[in-house]
Amino acid sequence: MGERTRIIALTGKGGVGKTSLSAAIVRILAETYPDSKILAIDADPAVGLSVALGVKPELTLDEIRKKVAQDVTEKLSDTQDILAEAKFQLYRTMVEKEGFAFLAIGRPEAAGCYCAINTYLRKVIEMLVDDFDYVVIDGEAGIEQINRRVLEKVTHLICVSDQSRKGLQIIETIKNVADELVMYDKIGLIVNRAPLPEKITEKEIGNVPVAAVIMQDDAMTENDIEGKSVFELPKDSIILSGARKALTNMEIL
């Protein structure tokens, strides 16, 4: 990992707005640090981050994995060759936009063991990360795939929950799993789409510091319905203001 690279991974149960927040964070970083290199990684098989960022990926990492797996069995035997081929394919599939690059992981592997290929690709992603200042990972509902399929280490782990008792209780479980599986430097919680933000008075929930409490953002919901990107939101929108607060509290901004 590059000395200055900040890797921000978002995790939490499904339906709490991780993808919208991931997109908001990419936009904030792109606008705040226009000279920085930013990589957005969609690690959720639903591939919603591409829509939220207004990008159209042609290939996913899993499709590359299948291609490299085929090459390994057919013609590549040397580890360096495999890594070089995987890196070439990875760069080829990255979508370059103004202000950031985008990479989709795709659906989890089907039948068959791709353990070796996953290891190679993770190595390649680690090499890739060195080329960026900020990496934002939109994780699926469950944290183990960040470790298994993307990266072993992140610098900032952002847990996302709604205001429900169940959602907030899950945060403690997520932290326990993260402590075991993911190396991280800093952890924080965003309580998103909160109908009663004033009810969140604790500074910490499930041993995770509260970085921000964000109310329901109707403008973001409308954007989602219309398939618009986060870049079409007004700068003072609720989700962007809340995400900025979280990034400031977690010392990313």
Domain range for 183 is: 6-249
Does the structure show a pLDDT above 90 at 133?
yes
> In this structure, is residue 1 part of a structural domain?
no
pLDDT 10s digits, 1-20: 446 899 999 988 888 999 99
Specify the pTM: 0.89
**Which of 43, 22, 181, 162 shows the shortest CA–CA distance to 100?**
22
Tokens encoding 26? 């990419």
Burial of 203 (0-12, 13-18, 19+ CB in 10 A): exposed
> In this structure, is residue 112 part of a structural domain?
yes
Select the more confidently predicted residue: 235 or 47. 235
Backbone angle region of 5, left / alpha / beta, with phi > 0 → left and psi within -120 to 50 → alpha: beta
Rg (CA), the chain: 18
HEC string for 26-83 = HHHHHHHCCCCCEEEEEECCCCCHHHHHCCCCCCCHHHHHHHHHHHHHHCCCCHHHHH
pLDDT 10s digits, 186-238: 999 999 999 999 999 999 999 999 999 999 999 999 998 898 999 999 999 99
Does the structure show a pLDDT above 90 at 57?
no
> In this structure, is residue 164 part of a structural domain?
yes
Tokens encoding 160? 């996302």
Number of domains in the chain: 1
> In this structure, is residue 159 part of a structural domain?
yes
What is the average pLDDT value for the chain, to the nearest integer?
85
pLDDT of residue 78: 67
Mean pLDDT of 232-251: 97
> In this structure, is residue 150 part of a structural domain?
yes
CA–CA separation, 102 and 39 (whole Å): 6
At 232 the three-state DSSP class reads: helix
> In this structure, is residue 106 part of a structural domain?
yes
Does the structure show a pLDDT above 90 at 123?
no
pLDDT 10s digits, 104-115: 877 655 555 556
Select the more confidently predicted residue: 241 or 224. 241
The CATH number covering residue 45 comes to 3.40.50.300
